[in-house]
Structure 1
Amino acid sequence: MGFERSRRGFLGGAAMLAAMLAVPAGAMDPRYTDADGDLTADPPADPKDWLDPDVLIFAYTPVEDPAVYAKVWEGFLKHMEEKTGKQVQFFPVQSNAAQIEAMRAGRLHVAGFNTGSNPLAVNCAGFVPFAMMAAADGSYGYEMEIITYPGSGIEKVEDIKGKKLAFTAPTSNSGYKAPSAMLKAEYGLEAEKDFEPVFSGKHDNSIIGVANKDYPAAAIANSVLQRMLARDVVQPEQIVSLYKSQTFPTTGYGLVYNLKPELAESIRDAFFSFPWEGSALAAEFEKSGEAQFIPIDYKTHWEVVRQVDTAMGVSYDCR
């Protein structure tokens, strides 16, 4: 990508993994059941509890400017309309918390939740993820990176001590939870004690903030950075990478657990039958290497994320 990279690590050692498994992350909300043990909510057994809305509401994770992504998803949503026979409306959410609450309240039916929000959405809102974007060869994922700008005075991770570090939101895996766990485990650095945490709200805010020298350093998802570099929102020479993690799963796409089964199946079909070639979706996401939707298993694919949550003492108990 043309910008400097240094250390790669996190979650590689047995000691780190053992520490992560020491504390349970939490349990599914009592309103849901999981008889098959796949860690997601089962659909209601009684047909009268099935949801069959006239208009399907879709929301993409609030990673970047919602106005940009309303156009990006337009063709896909038309495809979903054809497959479901329903009108599909794009819902521009402003925060992860608002997105989870909308699904929990029955106002959001289909969504892409960011990596860190998936467990919360699954346990608190009845979200059932079934798809993820991947490259043409089936590979997928992104890395958490800690970035700074040239001349910031931060040459290595240890130099963050005594300075500000921008996170995105507390529910974000790469924007808060993974870097917090890594900084404590590998460098003995804790927020408030060793550095001042600030929250930008979104990955693009953090990246632009570093590029403009508003933040001396930030923890971000490099898939977002790649797309912003491709759109010339920031330039490679404005960014220096201090740390790069192992690969995490990307945004998980799915639906609320209580949709009418036939409708749920047609929504799944819309994802896996979508013609990517020449689409606005392909034009945008090829910048971070993605070219298709692939099936996922939440229990397996999100195991590492749940381990990070355990290390952070995150509870999935719903408030």
Structure 2
Amino acid sequence: MKKIKLLSLLSVIGLALLLAGCGNDANASGGENENGWPEKIRYGVLPGEEDSELSRAHELFVKDMSEELGIEVELFQGEDYNAVIEAMRSKKLELASFGPFSYIIAQERSNAVPIAVRAISEEDATYNSWIVVPDESDVQSLEELEGKSILFADPASTSGHLFPRGIFIEELGITNDEVESYFSSVSFSGSHDNSILAIAAGDADAAGVCSTCVERAVKGGLVSESDFRIIAESDPIPSSPISYRGDLPEDLVEAIKEFIYNYDNEEFFEQAGDKDSRYIPVDESNYEIIRKTAESLNMSPEELLSQ
């Protein structure tokens, strides 16, 4: 499969700089304070969240958390999903906002534990994967994509890889091994934003993307609704969880939870996408559907990440 080489190079460089900057000590934040807490908390976010409003929201979130906890909180944005997973595995991150499938991988590799998702209500704490095509495309159905190019976001992306694969397997009656041969080209863009921009520019015949990511891109003026069409939609997917590294001190975890569950900065929620949303508690049972979907593809996380 093809990958965008520049993004892969940036990922390697970005993760190397993070690891080098943090040193080799297991507690790379520079030691512990009098409470036994790390002197710094690093909060990781995934690529594709770089639009200005969401970036400001992330900065505001870590600033408010720092003030509430009384310790420094630093924002880290991975160049790809695996960079964030590996940073937590190497104990270079204490918190991260993972996608549902990247959380499953981070749980296995990095002992990640989910805390909360951002949503208006428990019933609204889901989103979908869309298969989109350029608006001017003649393609009207999945069957008409045979022999054409498909763009996924990242190997560890739930709505940008895992669920689109499931859609093709279920709707077209093909096996997971046949997905690659069904298309003329299968590539990864590095993020949902990159994928929807490629569709808007007519640089790919189709893409699997996150519904809320596309809606945010439209709202932010990155693309227009007239640039693309939706030809397939997945079942509801549980939202992306904020997760902590499982070896953190219990009293620190409780302090983080109290901050997140009671967080009510309206400016943050408006910049993040919906001023009426809040953080809602979740646990690992919320993501059983993701595990089952991954198992249905008969591919391990390592195999999915190596695509």
Deviation at 1:74, TM superposition (A): 1.9
Distance 1:86 1:207 in 2: 38
Aligned to 2:72: 87
Quote the Cα distance in structure 2 between the aligned partners of 1:208 and 1:81: 35
C-alpha displacement of 1:99 = 0.4
Aligned counterparts of 1:151 and 1:144: Cα–Cα separation in 2: 21
Shift of 1:68: 5.5
For 1:216, the equivalent position in structure 2 comes to 205
Give the 3 Å change call, closer, same or farther, for CA 134–309 of structure 1 in structure 2.
same
- Matched to 2:238, the amino acid is P
Cα deviation for residue 170 of structure 1 reads 1.1
Correspondent of 2:143 among 134, 153, 158: 158
Cα 1:66–1:315 change in 2 (3 A) is: farther
Aligned residues of 1:70 and 1:90 also touching (Cα < 8 A): no
Counterpart of 2:58 in structure 1: which amino acid? W
Residue 310 of structure 1 is matched in structure 2 by 295
Give the drift of 1:139: 1.8
One-letter amino acid of the structure 2 residue matched with residue 257 of structure 1: G
Q: Distance in 1 between matches of 2:253 and 2:204?
A: 43
Aligned pairs for 1:163-174 within 5 A = 163-174=148-159
CA separation of 1:309/1:290 partners in 2, compared to 1, >3 Å: closer, same or farther? farther
Which residue of 292, 297, 306 maps to 2:278? 292
Matches within 5 A, 1:127-142: 127-136=112-121, 139-142=124-127
2:89 is the counterpart of 1:100: no
- Greater mean alpha carbon deviation, residues 309-318 or residues 74-83: 309-318
Residues 51 and 186 from structure 1, CA distance in 2 versus in 1: closer, same or farther, beyond 3 angstroms? farther
Once residues 208 and 112 of structure 1 are traced to their aligned partners in structure 2, the CA distance between those partners, rounded to angstroms, is 23
Q: Does 1:197 align with 2:186?
A: yes
Match of residue 233, structure 1, among 201, 222, 243: 222
Q: CA offset at residue 241 of structure 1? A: 0.4
Note the alpha carbon deviations across 1:98-129, whole angstroms, 9 max, x for none: 10110000100011001220100011101011
Q: Which amino acid aligns with 1:221?
A: C
After superposition, give the CA deviation of every residue in 1:79-105 in whole Å (9 maximum; x if it has no partner). 211222110000121111110110000
Aligned position for 1:27: none
Q: Which amino acid aligns with 2:282?
A: I
The letter of the residue matching 2:81 is: N
Matched, 1:244 2:233: yes
Q: Deviations over 1:250-300 (max 9, x none)?
A: 1111210011111111111111111132x13323321xx86100001212x
For residue 280 of structure 1, what is the aligned residue in structure 2?
268
Pick from 38, 58, 72: which aligns with 1:73? 58
CA RMSD, Structure 1 to Structure 2 (Å): 2.1
In 2, are the aligned partners of 1:127 and 1:256 still within 8 Å (CA)?
yes
Match of 2:23 in 1: none
Q: Distance in 1 between matches of 2:136 and 2:66?
A: 50
Instruction: Label 1:99 to 1:66 Cα distance change in 2 as closer, same or farther (>3 A).
Output: farther
- Once the two structures are superposed, residues 115-158 of structure 1 have per-residue CA deviations (whole angstroms, 9 ceiling, x without a partner) of 22010001110101110111157521110000001222211111
Which residue of 1 is the match for residue 29 of structure 2?
none
Find the counterpart in structure 1 of residue 45 from structure 2.
60
Distance in 1 between residues matched to 2:276 and 2:203, nearest whole Å: 31
Q: Are the equivalent residues in 2 in contact too, given 1:59–1:110 (CA < 8 A)?
A: yes
Query: Offset at 1:303?
Result: 1.1
Moved over 4 A (4+): 316-319
Deviation at 1:67, TM superposition (A): 6.3
TM-score by length of 1: 0.78
Conservation of the 8 A alpha-carbon contact between 2:199 and 2:207: yes
CA spacing shift, 1:51–1:177, aligned 2, 3 Å: farther
TM-score, normalised with respect to structure 2: 0.81
- On the 8 A contact 1:165/1:218 being kept in 2, the answer is yes
2: distance between equivalents of 1:304 and 1:191? 21
